[in-house]
Chains A and B, each alone.
Chain A
Amino acid sequence: QSALTQPASVSGSPGQSITISCTGTNNDVGSYILVSWYQQHPGKAPKLIIYEVNKRPSGASTRFSGSKSGNTASLTISGLQAEDEADYYCCSFAGMSIPYVFGTGTKVTVL
């Protein structure tokens, strides 16, 4: 099972919106709604920000939104803020024997 493909880096200015893509296959992203996204600041543990493609857990900013089309999932950050500068990872269910396959990670830079 290969890692999901994300762009290595995405940048934007404060207030802008950016979108991070996450490309998988028919064996993972394309077949399940169990796609989640995680934010990780340096030296910290990842934090769940989106689950089941587009649901936000309690406490997650409403500026984060998720979507999926075919084998590609996307995370959009609206109204970019300095605190959004972090690494972002997507993750997908890939079957009962591999419930979690992670993306390669995307570094978001706020210009």
Chain B
Amino acid sequence: QVQLQESGPGLVKPSGTLSLTCTVSGGSISTDNWWSWVRQTPGKGLEWLGQIYHTGSTIIKPSLKSRASILVDKSENQFSLKLNSVTAADTAVYYCVRELGHSGSSLEYWGQGTLITVSS
């Protein structure tokens, strides 16, 4: 069964860049699935951030397009999220997720999540 594991800095300074990597094991990232990033804050619940296909095609939530990017590294079986100009509002648990299939099909396999705190 496929497993996903997020890794990141834990703490990011305001106005800095949040960088997260998701390592996929138990299967290839080059399957016919999309791969997503989702975050969860106590105040706003679950929020989908963006997704990528192994070809490099991405869809980013419109409100984050100016700050977010998602890349795939097939050689490492990983995909990553970069979020620029972070503020306290970006403090959340970040999850990487494999979708059931096509974009929007559903979020099937989730990583355990990693807490990112934005603070000086």
* Residues of A participating in the B interface, judged by any CB pair closer than 8 Å: 3, 32, 34, 36, 38, 44-48, 51-52, 57, 89, 91, 93, 96-105
Smallest CB gap from A50: residue in B: B106
Indicate if the CB atoms of A45 and B113 lie closer than 8 Å.
Answer: yes
**Assuming the A-B contacts A45-B95, A45-B110, A96-B59, are A102 and B45 also in contact, with contact meaning beta carbons closer than 8 angstroms in the complex?**
yes
Query: Shortest CB–CB separation between residue A110 and chain B, in angstroms?
Result: 22
Smallest CB gap from B51: residue in A: A99
Chain A residues with Cβ below 8 Å from B38 are 100
The CB with the most chain A CB atoms within 10 A, among B95, B106, B111, is that of: B106
Indicate if the CB atoms of A100 and B45 lie closer than 8 Å.
Answer: no
**Out of A36, A38, A96, A102, which one reaches B47, CB within 8 Å?**
A102
Indicate if the CB atoms of B45 and A105 lie closer than 8 Å.
Answer: yes
Decide if B46 is an interface residue (CB 8 Å cutoff).
yes
Indicate if the CB atoms of A51 and B106 lie closer than 8 Å.
Answer: yes
Smallest CB gap from B6: residue in A: A45
Query: Shortest CB–CB separation between residue A36 and chain B, in angstroms?
Result: 4
Binary contact track B37-63/A, C-beta < 8 Å → 1, others 0: 010000001111001000000010110
Query: Shortest CB–CB separation between residue A100 and chain B, in angstroms?
Result: 4
For residues 75 through 115 of chain B, which have their beta carbon under 8 Å from a beta carbon of chain A?
A: 95, 100, 103-108, 110-113
Report 16 cross-chain contacts, Cβ distance below 8 Å, ordered by A residue. A34-B105, A36-B106, A36-B107, A38-B107, A48-B100, A48-B108, A51-B105, A52-B105, A57-B100, A93-B104, A98-B62, A99-B48, A100-B38, A100-B48, A100-B104, A102-B46
